[in-house]
Amino acid sequence: MKYIDTHCHLLFPYYDEDREEVLQKVNDELDLFIEIGGDLDNSQKVVDFIKNQPKAFGTVGIHPTDSEGFDINLIDKLEELAKNDKIVGIGETGLDFYWETNKQTQYKVFDAQVSIAEKLNKPLVLHIRDAYDEAYEFLKKSNLPSKLGVVHCFSDTWETAKKFLDLGFYLGFDGPITYPKNAELRKVVQQTPFERILPETDSPFLPPVPFRGKRNMPIYVKYVYEKIAEIKKIDIEELKSKLYFNTMSLFF
């Protein structure tokens, strides 16, 4: 059994020079990967790209920091793209209050995507930054798809993690669990039940140790697996089959 990356952005310009080579490695070393949409244009590209990539699946969505540039009248276009068979989720969507931005617009675009997810019954891929409480309160009172979704690149306290786990969400873990200063986050990994963990890279961002400062790649998900295996004291092959099962359970 090989590795899985449930969150990457191989269509971003960071791979324009050598995308074919990167894909070759991904196809050699991974069982499957999920290419995540970031705005309407990018979501269209995801749909076109995954069509001819046997190991690729995708999501379509408007990233919270792109909400202001998004014309809400085009939401039907996103919904059309979301109906594609190889589109396995809606996102990344959510709330990001780290940047100076119009919060009301973020809520509106998030809400529209939650509705699509609920209507098509596809899970949500959530991007949450500096807004865990707000996103939690919002989700709690929303109509959600039956399989809910994943809090992508979870990076907050166990107290917060537990709230999302109690709602029924999965938690995605990425390179930051390998960073020396993130002992608190490793405790979250330790306490999160196996059946709710998903492996991610968020490539080209958040490279794990020993690639910090470089461009991330889906094949580096191996280091995320190794860290989870070390924290959970489990054999890597056993971990692979558990994370494969989780990916299948949520997205397929």
202 known member of a binding site:
yes
Shortest spacing between CB 7 and Zn ion, in angstroms: 6
Helix H, strand E, coil C: the string for 211-225 is CCCCCCCHHHHHHHH
Residues recorded for the chain: 252
Tokens of 102: 């119009």
152 labeled binding residue: yes
Residue 92 labeled ligand binder:
yes
Residue number with CB closer to Zn ion (214 or 241): 214
The answer to whether 35 touches 87, Cβ cutoff 8 Å, is: no
CB closer to Zn ion, 158 vs 205 = 205
Residues 165-224 that bind Zn ion (CB under 5 A): 202
Residue placing its CB nearer to Zn ion in the complex, 66 or 163: 66
| Rounded least distance, CB 59 to Zn ion, Å | 10
Start-to-end CA distance of the chain, whole Å, equals 18
- Cα separation of 131 and 235, whole Å? 35
Tell me the closest approach of the beta carbon of residue 218 to Zn ion, in angstroms.
Answer: 12
Nearer to Zn ion, 63 or 222 (CB): 63
Number of residues that bind Zn ion (CB under 5 A): 1
What does the alpha-carbon distance between residue 127 and residue 144 come to, in Å, rounded to a whole number? 16
User: What is the number of alpha carbons within 13 Å of residue 74 lying toward its C-beta?
Assistant: 14
- Of the two residues 99 and 143, which places its CB atom closer to Zn ion in the complex? 99
Q: Closest separation between CB of residue 202 and Zn ion, Å?
A: 5
For the bound state, the minimum distance from the C-beta of residue 8 to Zn ion, rounded and expressed in Å, comes to: 8
Task: Give the C-alpha separation, 37 to 63, whole Å.
Answer: 8
Cβ closest to Zn ion, residue 81 vs residue 150: 150
Per-residue tokens: 201: 């890279």
User: 131 by DSSP, 3-state: which?
Assistant: coil
Q: What residue has token string 């069982």? A: 31
Residue linked to tokens 């074919």: 20
Q: Which residue is nearest to Zn ion (CB)?
A: 202
The answer to whether 7 is annotated as binding is yes
Neighbour count for residue 120 (Cβ, 10 Å): 14
Q: Where are the beta strands (DSSP E) in the chain?
A: 3-8, 30-35, 56-60, 87-96, 124-129, 149-151, 170-173, 197-199
CB 73 to Zn ion: min, Å? 25
The answer to whether the beta carbons of residues 197 and 171 sit under 8 Å apart is yes
Annotated binding site for a divalent metal cation: 7, 9, 92, 127, 152, 202
Binding site for Zn ion (CB under 5 A): 202
- Binding residue positions: 7, 9, 92, 127, 152, 202
